[in-house]
Structure formats: C-alpha cells, structure tokens
Chain A
Amino acid sequence: EVQLVQSGAETKKPGESLKISCRASGFSFTEYWIAWVRQMPGKGLEWMGIIYPGDSDTRYSPSFQGQVTVSADKSINTAYLQWSSLKASDTAMYYCARPKGGYQLAALDSWGQGTLVTVSS
C-alpha cells in the first residue's frame, strides 16, 4: 500500500526556521517524483515544487522559488520542505503528494495527511 506520512503540526514564531517531512512507503521512492502543495486557511490548492529523490532534481513554482527549499533523503525514503525564516503568511496546511506513474507531470494520486504550520508571534 502506498503511504505518505507527514510530520506533525508545528507552531513557530516569525523569523524561525522549520523543516517538515514526508515519509514514503509502499513504492520505490527513488523512481517517483514527490510534490508539495500549500493550502492557506479557507483557500485553494497551490503547487509549490517537486523533487525526484533518485537524483534530487528539483523544480519550483515561481511563486515559491527562493521562499522554500525542497529536498529528499533517499536512504530513509523521506522528502522535506523547509523554510529559513518563516513569516505569518506561511501559516497553512502543507501536503506532500505523489504524481501517478513516476512522471513529473501527472495527476497526484497519493497524498500525505497534511502538516499544519502556524506562524504567530
């Protein structure tokens, strides 16, 4: 069974750093891309970026380029999303998701449960 299990909810202050995780199981982690999707409170879905853990090839949406870093550790089947300096506007639910069939450009058929990040002073 394909599973993406994300790390727990986080509450941080503006300016702090944060790294959240997405642990994969049930498929070959190095042969599938992993995407990150943001959902701000009461709002829609926004695609942030994507990584191929096999060679760490990473692409970002222009809206998120330079604002976050996507990475992966294939030795422990885990993808990461990190911030170096959080802002209140980073408050959101963050999902990792896997595109179908091992393709970069495909429907997202498996999703993590989400990690709620709250940034408040």
Chain B
Amino acid sequence: IRLTQSPSSLSASVGDRVTITCQASQDITDYLNWYQQKPGQVPKLLIYTASNLEAGVPSRFSGSGYGTDFTLTISSLQPEDIATYYCQQHDILPITFGQGTRLDIK
C-alpha cells in the first residue's frame, strides 16, 4: 500500500493551524498512524488508528480520516513542533510509511 503525504514541506508561523494530509493507494479503514521525528531524534507516535491521541501527546495534535484520506492537524503551532511528520499504515503487511512532511517555523 502506497501512502502519499502532502505537502512534502511547509513553513508556518507560531500559532498557525497546520494540516498535513496522507492518501492511501487503497482502502485501509482507520489503520493509519502518525509519527513525529525531530532532528536527530527517534520517531515518536502521535496518533494511532487515525484519530486516537497517544498518551502524553499535547492535545493540539489531532487526526482524522477513514478509507483512503487522512489528516493530521496541529491546532496552534508551537516552536517545539519543528519536525518531520510521517504517516504509516498497519492494515496489511508490509507496513508502509509515507515519504514524510518537513515542517519549519516561518
């Protein structure tokens, strides 16, 4: 299953609402997860099964979607949110990741 993220990169200002999309090449119901990877760090799970916030993740992060189209939203961008974000499907093997979206602060 191919996952296509858009945009590949974006710059936004502190306080902005940021949206990243992930499109699957076939129906994956809600088996879609989102990760954050800050520079030089290990990936961190943010959202699992499309819309469930992982414990300890700030509530400004949210996820939505079903089937083939999914969205990660940051409601109010903070400086510490500078990172690359990846979607990942776990509907069928092999598990696959999107190509990543690099987020910078404007």
Q: Do A and B come from one complex?
A: yes
**Chain A residues whose C-beta falls within 8 Å of the C-beta of B81 in the assembled complex:** none
Q: What CA separation (Å) do A114 and B41 show in the bound complex?
A: 9
**Interface CB pairs A-B, < 8 A, 28:** A44-B100, A45-B35, A45-B43, A45-B86, A47-B94, A47-B96, A47-B97, A50-B93, A59-B93, A97-B43, A100-B48, A104-B93, A105-B31, A105-B90, A105-B91, A105-B93, A105-B95, A106-B90, A107-B48, A107-B49, A107-B54, A107-B90, A108-B33, A108-B45, A109-B45, A109-B48, A109-B54, A113-B42
Interface string of B16-43 (1 = CB under 8 A from A): 0000000000000001010101000011
A-B contact count (CB 8 A): 66
B97 & A95 in contact (Cβ 8 Å cutoff): no
Closest chain-A Cβ to B13's Cβ sits at a distance in Å of: 26
**Chain A residues whose C-beta falls within 8 Å of the C-beta of B94 in the assembled complex:** 47, 59-63
**Chain A residues whose C-beta falls within 8 Å of the C-beta of B54 in the assembled complex:** 107, 109
Number of interface residues of B (CB under 8 A): 25
A72 interface hit (Cβ, 8 Å): no
A46 interface hit (Cβ, 8 Å): yes
Q: Of the candidates B33, B42, B97, which one forms a contact with A111 in the assembled complex, judged by CB atoms under 8 Å apart?
A: B42
Interface of B is mostly: loop
Q: What CA separation (Å) do A104 and B95 show in the bound complex?
A: 10
Interface string of B94-105 (1 = CB under 8 A from A): 111111100000
Decide yes or no: A105 and B92 within 8 Å by CB, A44-B100, A45-B43 being known contacts.
yes
Interface residues of A in 68-121 (CB under 8 A from B): 95, 97, 99-100, 104-109, 111-114
Q: What CA separation (Å) do A50 and B33 show in the bound complex?
A: 18
**Chain B residues whose C-beta falls within 8 Å of the C-beta of A95 in the assembled complex:** 42-43
Closest chain-B Cβ to A111's Cβ sits at a distance in Å of: 5
